[in-house]
Chains A and B, each alone.
Chain A
């Protein structure tokens, strides 16, 4: 398409690919307009022509777009504004500058929640992935009825994040819970595991590890992608199972591991339900994870401005953690397409 027949295009809706070209060259088109039938062009029409085709595109994605703009982007912008106010849900918000952030810097429970959250992330994510990988490898065998086993083992993860399981967990680890029927056999005194500061967080970590299902499925898919020749060749060379695992399985699986680590970390930072239902942050705030701390500020004491500030801090923390994951991944993740070992 040349620029000379540009004006003709006005009447005909543009195909998206053409539109991109037109928009790309629009300034040039204006200079070289002397075409056969010049039309008077208002600024409005020009603008319309320029965005004509993308507009149709926007129209098609509008159900999602409107939802995103009104229900996500707008609240995000608002929360950014509110983080600089003393908004409490009942009264008008007043601009207080960075006071919220300065207060957070001195908030003992904020640092407590950071400590709890990092402990939770650093223990639950590795544990969950280790369990997921182990189970995935067990299920990656040619055994009769394997699909039934897969289904059964995946089943808990379907209900894993629900309130019902959290309530169940509370009862299992409670004073009269199932665990207390078992531990005396191991010589441990029964106690209220969720009511003791040193063990409460561990019960939540175990619950998370138990919900390994989706990570397991992804690992399973990854394992199936590893060519069997690699194992055959190495076993001809006399490599042990452990050697095969370390030098073939792990490197070949590393992109999948990275994906699971990144998703796991992001999810773990935002964990809420189990801490809210099982322990409600207690005892002595030992399970008050970041999201729960934020929730209590927002809906417990109505410090919406403060809570908004906390939310933005969490965003920064998660962004940093994810960046670290990606930066470090260069040193251990192996992509076949790049045709070489990880550096």
Chain B
């Protein structure tokens, strides 16, 4: 084992990888367990970068440990309970607060981050200290079937109103089992975007505030209900069958829907389903932007690590070094360092550029900084995937509850929050 090499300073376990679909702000968003081109190329690039670093710093060796995103948090939490996490490991915006507040992450303020966007850096900062270094820029937008849109002569919708209208207008031109969108009723991410676009902020915030806007919520559910009753969105059972990035089950890949939400970094995954068919566009607006900017992923360091200094040096190198950038490219989203982006500019592929365009457009259109939400403490567990909140929205989708009844149930849930 490399650990035992004489004098070798260990900076092992770098790069816990999520090998499933990248992006998505929920802990289980990676359930599409298929390796797609983007993530596989990321594995390879990461390994190459580690090799290069070891060549330059013979005192540092790595024991990379790759793992699917499913079950990653379970494993990491168990390791953290034993103060035994790898020296460097991947962090996620959604858990960041829980972790930074409980001494499970090392202070990384000494890493050189002067070329990183401040708003982005803030998402890995807790009480003025950096505990998670963002590795890539990302933004949420929509991915649409450009081939079909061009054929029908339609433009991707710019506002939510246009989306709802387009769903009705486009249906007669599509096949019987084709729709513009799936039923967004149970889609928390899309409701969040809708509420943002109305200027009402995030429904659940990082500081644990229940910020659902009653009128906006009922309006969204009612508008979706109308579309569902009119047959303008995918029926509930079809909506339930969607599995992102799955070659057989992704509704966009099967051309059963024409628009889906997509992070910039996820575009490569969608593109691999039907190369050349899709394009990105910013999320639909209302009075404000509906999209948001976020880091594609973070690295954190074990505070009890013996190789803490070396680990920080490596993270520094990983985000700031040109040679590293040559290898890594956009495998983790658009690099966070502005200098590196400028350096890589001539080398970007069409897919890279589509992602960068989305990020730029989202930023210019006033996209918000991503709010990872309150986590699962203080009663918020009821809002986790497939828990009480999702149960309510799914009941609305299957017409077992009206939007009004659904709202009353949501309010009941909010009463248990601390």
A binding-site residues for B, Cβ under 8 Å: 89-91, 108-109, 112, 171, 174-176, 191-197, 280-285, 288, 296, 299-303
Contacts and interface: CB of A to CB of B under 8 A. Distances in A.
B77 interface: yes
Contact of B237 (A176, A196, A299): A196
A90 B77 contact: yes
Interface of B: 74, 77-78, 80-81, 98, 102, 104, 235-241, 248-249, 376, 381, 384-388, 391, 394-395, 398, 400
Given A90-B81, A174-B241, A299-B74, A109 B391 contact: yes
A176 B77 contact: no
Contacts of B241: 174-175, 192, 194-195
Please provide the 6 A-B residue pairs with the shortest distance between their CB atoms, ordered closest to farther.
A195-B240, A301-B381, A192-B237, A195-B237, A284-B394, A196-B237
Nearest to A171: B248
A96 to B, nearest CB: 14
A89 B238 CA distance: 37
Contacts of B74: 299
18 contacts: A89-B81, A90-B77, A90-B81, A108-B391, A175-B241, A191-B235, A191-B237, A193-B237, A194-B241, A195-B236, A195-B240, A196-B237, A196-B240, A282-B394, A283-B240, A284-B400, A285-B386, A300-B384
A300 B386 CA distance: 10
A301 B102 contact: no
Contacts of B395: 284
Contact of A283 (B104, B381, B398): B398
Contact of B238 (A192, A282, A296): A192
Given A283-B237, A303-B381, 9 more contacts: A89-B78, A89-B81, A112-B391, A195-B240, A196-B237, A285-B391, A296-B386, A300-B387, A301-B381
B398 A284 contact: yes
Nearest to B384: A301
A300 B28 CA distance: 9
Contacts of A91: 102
B152 to A, nearest CB: 24
A46 B81 CA distance: 45
A299 B104 CA distance: 19
Contacts, number: 78
A141 to B, nearest CB: 42
Nearest to A301: B381
Contacts of A288: 386
B81 A282 contact: no
Contact of B80 (A90, A192, A296): A90
B18 to A, nearest CB: 17
B416 to A, nearest CB: 9
B212 to A, nearest CB: 19
A283 B399 CA distance: 13
Contact of A89 (B77, B236, B237, B387): B77
A197 B384 contact: no
B240 A301 contact: no
A175 B238 contact: yes
Contacts of B386: 280-282, 285, 288, 296, 300
B236 A176 contact: no
Nearest to B251: A175
Contacts of A192: 237-238, 240-241
Contacts of B239: 195
A109 B388 contact: yes
Contacts of B240: 192, 194-196, 282-283
Contacts of B376: 301-302
B385 A197 contact: no
A120 B39 CA distance: 39
B98 A90 contact: yes
Contact of A176 (B102, B248, B387, B394): B248
Contacts of B391: 108-109, 112, 284-285
B97 to A, nearest CB: 12
B294 to A, nearest CB: 22
- With most chain B CB atoms within 10 A of its CB, the pick from A175, A282, A284, A299 is A284
A194 B241 CA distance: 8
Nearest to A107: B388
Contacts of B400: 197, 284
Nearest to B396: A284
Contact of B236 (A112, A283, A300, A301): A283
Contacts of B236: 195-196, 283
B19 to A, nearest CB: 18
Nearest to A281: B386
A228 to B, nearest CB: 52
Contacts of B104: 90
Contacts of A285: 386, 391, 394
A176 B177 CA distance: 12
A175 to B, nearest CB: 5
A195 B98 CA distance: 34
Contacts of A296: 386-387
